[in-house]
Amino acid sequence: MADGIPGELLLVFALLIWVVFGLILASNPKNRLNQWCFGSGMMFSVGALKEYLFYTLGPELIRRGVWSEEGVRLLYSLLSAAFYYLSMPAVVIFCLYFHHLDRTRPVLFRRLFLLVYLPPVLLALIFPCTQTLALQSDRVFCLTVGLYNWCYGLIGTGILAHILTAERMSANYRQRRLAAFSLLVPLWFWLISAFPYHALGIPNLSKMWQFNLIVVLFLLFYFLYHAFREGIWGIRFRRETYDWNSGNQALQKNARYVGHALKNDLAKIEWCTDVLAGAGVCGREVEILRRSAAHLKQFISRTQLYSQDISLALEECDVEGLFQELREGFNQPRAGAGPVQISFCDREPLTCDTAHLEEALRNLITNAVEAAGEEGQVVLSYRCDPRRRCGVITVADNGCGMDEETVKQLFEPYYTTKAGGENLGLGLYYCWNVMSAHGGSIRVTSQPGEGSVFSLLFPVKRKRKGAQSGHGTDSDPGRGGRP
């Protein structure tokens, strides 16, 4: 091509788009978000493919007598119409799924789904798809198509920005932000580089959109970089594939299977133990059997509790009262454990599931007490900031702390740093699920030898002025007011 990149590079451009968005689809083929992102990518690839067919492959086929010039022009017009009219509706549908409208407002979603495709139908009637090649020199056509695509781009971006802002404290916020970024960057480079110059007729810039080749290369490296780290679009090359937009079905299935298998053998062990005890057999061996059976029961119960779906019963929780109850329970005299204190607690109630919050806090406090040891201390705090729509509960200890590699794996199921059969490695995973169900998140800061701080971040709705302020509950000047 005299006024653009070589035709072979256009083919490479299209193939790269297929690779990038094919990887996104392969990451989770059953996920609607992955499906519609793939569809959007395929529509965008038509832009490079039609240029290759028209300027490189088409003339060669005409020269060999395989194809006619009219056929090449017709195909170019049809592909251009599909590219101009259908690319952005696919993006907007992706954004609607990203906003969860298909689940939260299904009737509205179905109506919007149909409405999104009404403008392209009207455009196809006004500017026939078979005449797109000739219409590219028509200023009215270029302005109309440019305005249409820009409006859809702004609508889609607004939808993504709205839901990401609302979910900024959610446990999977970073994953969703990575996904949105990987779509918005090529989208807006295309919108900025293509339509204004066509519509305004600026010379020598009509092929600027072809620099999207660089953007797509960047996107491929961006995808691979995150896939080999924390994961993106539902795939993590390091060791596993997973569903980035949902929960823990595989773990639940494993827990049910293990629980069923253990219960059968556990019933036999308990029966044999009872028979031995009834026959007057006593001693160390029978007691070991009883303790082992009790431990297996506890293991089954905790595994099923921590791996199941979290169903919330939201209510206003008296955090101060909960703190007091937990402090009294954990401050009972016992070896190797330091005191649990409350540094600060807002009077503002927290809307949450109290039972799940209490269980999550018991997990965190137990870990903190064990890490701090007899000479250490554990400090609880709660701050509510409706202006930032955030309520934060922290559990801090001055124990041994953790290195960065340990922190990265803390919330993986069955991961534990503790020795002994009492630790399942599911407690922090359960805490993560509880916060995810609340639309919040759990964060940890820790350094070896400097202790750890676990923060539970809850979304809080703004309230009218005049809300009560917080107050300290323990006189602990050394730790008071710590967030």
Distance of CA 319 to the CA centre of its chain: 28
Instruction: Say if residue 392's pLDDT is above 90.
Output: yes
Report the topology of domain 315-459: Heat Shock Protein 90 (3.30.565)
Q: Work out the pLDDT band at 445, boundaries 50, 70, 90.
A: very high
Per the CB < 8 A criterion, the answer to whether 307 and 252 are in contact is yes
Q: What are phi and psi of 458, to 5 degrees?
A: -105, 140
Instruction: Say if residue 265's pLDDT is above 70.
Output: no
Q: Work out the pLDDT band at 303, boundaries 50, 70, 90.
A: low
Which residue shows structure tokens 């057999």?
Answer: 281
Q: What is the mean pLDDT of the chain?
A: 80
pLDDT tens by residue, 116-130: 999 999 999 999 999
Q: Work out the pLDDT band at 419, boundaries 50, 70, 90.
A: low
Share of the chain above pLDDT 70, in %: 75
Per the CB < 8 A criterion, the answer to whether 167 and 435 are in contact is no
What residue ranges do the domains of the chain occupy? 7-241, 249-307, 315-459
pLDDT for residue 217 = 81
Other beta carbons within 10 angstroms of residue 41's beta carbon come to 26
Angstrom distance (rounded) from CA 31 to CA 41: 16
pLDDT tens by residue, 169-227: 776 788 889 889 988 988 888 888 776 666 566 656 556 666 677 878 888 888 888 87
Instruction: Say if residue 96's pLDDT is above 70.
Output: yes
pLDDT for residue 411 = 81
CATH code of domain 7-241 = 1.20.1070.10
pTM of the model: 0.57
Domains 7-241 and 315-459 share a fold: no
Per the CB < 8 A criterion, the answer to whether 286 and 277 are in contact is yes
Mean pLDDT over 342-354 rounds to 89
pLDDT for residue 463 = 61
